[in-house]
Amino acid sequence: MSGQETAAALPTAGERWAFFFDIDGTLLELAETPSGVRVDGELVALIRRLHDCAGGAVALISGRRIDDVDALFPGPHLPIAGQHGMERRDAGGGLHRHAPKNIDWPRLRADVDAAMAGKPGLLVEDKGLTLAVHYRRAPKLRRHVGKALGELVAEAGGSLRLQPGKCVLEVKPAGRDKGTAIAEFMAEAPFRDRLPVFIGDDVTDEYGFGVVNAMGGCSIKVGAGRTAARARLDGVAAVRAWLEALLARSPACNGTGKEEERR
């Protein structure tokens, strides 16, 4: 996709959009560990302003837990899908959790810990509904991590799925992903009857791109790589610059930052 085609495919001001954002690698630069990311006040203010201007139709779609996202973005709670759609907080504050069924979670955690024991640089993250193994500090162990987790997923007989990401492999219950989370939001106010926009950088975001494309919305890939997205931005800085420009041009943003009522 050329730069000109990318620019033409990006959303412009004046439409009734519903905005969905991945966090790590999209709104924030990646860090060695999940706890290593930093959120500046300007980004928080930008997302809050967009939330107000879009009538509340802004949600964060992350592999992180909802509680972790709340800690990154302080203030009034935003709609969030956490753990790749395994948990979701709607615009009214209702919490929807899809607990894994027929899975012995303590045993699975113990098996993952045992498989990664004695491997310096690996980080096992138990999010409650998914299990992630980060190997950014030990990239040569990627094959070991994949083989061990793949065997555990195979033993589960279809109830689990192995989800790859950037320097992370995650074991999660099958049937939920970022795409299902976006579809659930789009069936509810204030997202309903809008066109979805989803911005993400990783393979986990491809599920969301597929759903958004099917709805006639705008899918935006951040960075290089093959993708189903129909537009592209170079990196985190480009995402922020585009959002700032969108808000500056948007007729929905007035002096109070609220979306004008359509008559």
Residue 6 DSSP class: H
Q: Which of 68, 61, 72 is nearest to 39 (CA)?
A: 72
* Residue 99 pLDDT level (bands cut at 50, 70, 90): confident
**105-173, CATH topology level:** Alpha-Beta Plaits (3.30.70)
Q: How far apart are CA 172 and CA 174, in angstroms?
A: 6
Report, as an integer, the average pLDDT of 66-81.
96
pLDDT value at residue 221: 97
Give the C-alpha separation, 140 to 135, whole Å.
Answer: 8
| Digit-coded pLDDT (tens) for 126-149 | 999 999 999 999 999 999 999 999
Residue 250's region, left for phi above 0, alpha for psi from -120 to 50, else beta, is beta
- Confidence band for 102, pLDDT divided at 50, 70 and 90: confident
Q: Which CATH code, of 3.40.50.9100, 3.40.50.620, 3.40.50.1000, 3.40.50.300, is assigned to 3-97+176-249?
A: 3.40.50.1000
Q: Is the pLDDT of residue 1 over 60?
A: no
Residue 6 pLDDT level (bands cut at 50, 70, 90): low
Where is 115: in which H helix or E strand? Answer: helix 105-116
DSSP summary character for residue 183 = H
Alpha-carbon distance of 224 to 83, in angstroms, equals 24
Structure tokens given for 158: 């279809």
CA distances from 112 to 23, 30, 87, 151, 258 (A): 26, 24, 22, 10, 47
Peptide bond into 190 cis (omega under 30): yes
Q: Alpha helices, DSSP H only, in 167-261?
A: 178-186, 206-214, 236-249
SS3 content of the chain, % helix, strand, coil (to 5): 35, 20, 45
Q: What is the mean pLDDT of residues 211-216?
A: 98
- Residues recognised as catalytic: 22
Strands of 131-134's sheet, edge to edge? 123-126, 131-134, 168-173, 160-165
> Which uninterrupted H or E stretch holds 124?
strand 123-126
The domain segmentation of the chain, as residue ranges, is: 3-97+176-249, 105-173
Q: How confident is the model at residue 260 (pLDDT cuts 50, 70, 90)?
A: very low
- Structure confidence at residue 101 (pLDDT): 81
* pTM flag (> 0.85): yes
d(CA 103, CA 142): 25
